[in-house]
Structure 1
């Protein structure tokens, strides 16, 4: 499965990054970055860390939905996922992100 990072400039001048699957489904959505350079650095940090299973800290919200924090080697949170209905769905999402997140393809939207 291939995918790409979508790099988008918002109307306020900030930048957002999304990881997209081959079918254009959004796998992860970043926070806001003040400039393009910061957004590109975030992509590089994500690529470096997303391939390590131990960097995904699995959690459950108060409503019983699963989600994860992707952390860097220094324990800094890189990304927080959206909520998943079950742990198997969460695990499938992590497997997909580990595979797709190493992509070098970046498309500007």
Structure 2
């Protein structure tokens, strides 16, 4: 499966990325980063941690909807999913990140370069 990291620079000057599944759907979103290099490091961390046992944590929002976070080995959250209608859908979302992130390409629209 071929996923894609989509890196953008926001109006506030900060960088953020989304991981897109092969169908173009967003399956993981990052926090905002002040530096481009930090966002690239975040992408590398998602690639490395997506296949690590115990890296995903399914949580429940205040409205009762499940979502998941991906954590680095130090416990820091490096990405978050959308809200899902069911626990099984959130689990499938985790699996989609596991399948897409390690080999995902990078579309860097923050500097107009593609790798």
Higher relative strand content:
1
Unaligned runs of 5+ in 1: none
2:94 corresponds to 1:85: no
- 1:17 is aligned to 17
Task: Please give the root-mean-square deviation of Cα atoms over the aligned residues, in Å.
Answer: 1.4
Task: Give the TM-score taking structure 1 as reference length.
Answer: 0.89
Encode CA deviations 1:27-54: one digit per residue, 9 max, x unaligned. 1121211121111010011111111241
Higher helix share: 1
Secondary structure in 2 matching 1:5: strand
Post-superposition offset of 1:104? 4.4
5+ residue gaps, structure 2, are 110-115
Q: Which moved more, 1:95-104 or 1:60-69?
A: 60-69
More displaced 10-residue stretch of structure 1: 42-51 or 63-72: 63-72
Secondary structure at 2:31's aligned position in 1?
Answer: strand
The 1-side partners of 2:3 and 2:31 are apart by: 19
1:64-109 C-alpha deviation (Å, 9 max, x unpaired): 2111221111212212222111011011111001110112410123
Equivalent residue for 1:66?
A: 66
